[in-house]
Amino acid sequence: MQVTVGMGPRSRPAGESGLGWVRGRLLWVYAVLAVPLAWVLAFVAWPSFSTLWQSLWALDAVGRPTGFAGLGNFRALFAQPLFSEVTLNTVTYAVAATGLSVAAALGLAVVLARVRRDQVGARGLLIALFSPTVMPAIAAANLWLYFLAPRIGVVDWLLRALGSGGENWLGQPGSALAVLVALFVWKYAPYFTLFLLAGMQAIPPNLRDALRLDDPRGFSAWRRVLLPLLAPMLLFVTVLALLYAVETVDPVYVMTQGGPNNATDLVMYYLYQLGFEFFAWGPAAALSALLMTVLSTLSGLSLIVLERKAFHW
């Protein structure tokens, strides 16, 4: 950011009128910032504000305000019988998906940290690992739909070879949610691995050498040194996973439509239902406002903690 550096009076060229020079520089700064600023205003700030605003108004079927509702939309939302079910689903899903994907990512990072780049197959392994991450969610969900189809799917085929099978994984409440969790882990764990791998590689090699000399079992090294040093990165990845998990909608839409028996109705899908199926725009706006507040608070807090706790080597 040479521009901001140039703002300092010291770098001002001699002979120019001070005020005019500063004004010229400022103009330039704003000109450069104008495009991203307009972007943020139009696509982040304005929608956020209007969502919060709309959540306080009674809205008709096409979303036009018909009168001030206060907290009426929120009351209506909480009164929906589906709401508590969706909340429970989402919490279960988010906790399981986050926990498992972060644990898997940590395991992968530990393994990958040992793989040398010039080792045979290292490149192939990386490509295989990260292909789910770069695959569009819709495509991944469709792929899994075929994998899991009873009788023709590869999962059923494998299970039959082992003597069981004939299971409709998406047809039962418990297993359907578990499939969504598995899909999340499959898709995102490699992505989170990248962050944790970077975190591990940021630990100075000498520190690892010291641990190898000091710790006979490697247990203390992990518990007392490596995990605490990775903690900021783990926190970051966990919050990221939580945000992604709460935002999950595509696989629900493609694979289960929230069923069976609403067992996979997650909050984002529910939000979509509220708006585009039930045309309950008021409660939809209330739910959006609620989600926005909770999630942004969560990520804000995590950023603060991250900045405080991070080690600057």
Binding site for other proteins (CB under 8 A): 204, 206-207, 209-210, 212-217, 219-221, 224-225, 228-229, 311, 313
User: Which alpha helices (DSSP H) does 57-172 contain, by range?
Assistant: 72-79, 81-114, 122-134, 137-148, 154-161
Alpha carbon distance 196, 154 (integer Å): 32
Q: Give least dist CB 202 to other proteins, A.
A: 11
Q: Beta-carbon neighbour count of residue 215 at 10 Å?
A: 15
Q: For residues 59 and 235, which CB has a smaller minimum distance to other proteins in the complex?
A: 235
Q: Give least dist CB 107 to other proteins, A.
A: 22
Q: Give least dist CB 113 to other proteins, A.
A: 16
Q: For residues 24 and 228, which CB has a smaller minimum distance to other proteins in the complex?
A: 228
Q: For residues 68 and 219, which CB has a smaller minimum distance to other proteins in the complex?
A: 219
Alpha carbon distance 220, 88 (integer Å): 37
Q: Position of tokens 């907290």?
A: 71
Q: Give least dist CB 215 to other proteins, A.
A: 4
Q: Give least dist CB 208 to other proteins, A.
A: 9
Q: For residues 137 and 310, which CB has a smaller minimum distance to other proteins in the complex?
A: 310
Q: Beta-carbon neighbour count of residue 44 at 10 Å?
A: 10
- Which H or E element spans position 289? helix 281-309
Contacts for 272-279: CB closer than 8 Å, 24+ residues apart: 279/61, 279/62
Q: For residues 30 and 311, which CB has a smaller minimum distance to other proteins in the complex?
A: 311
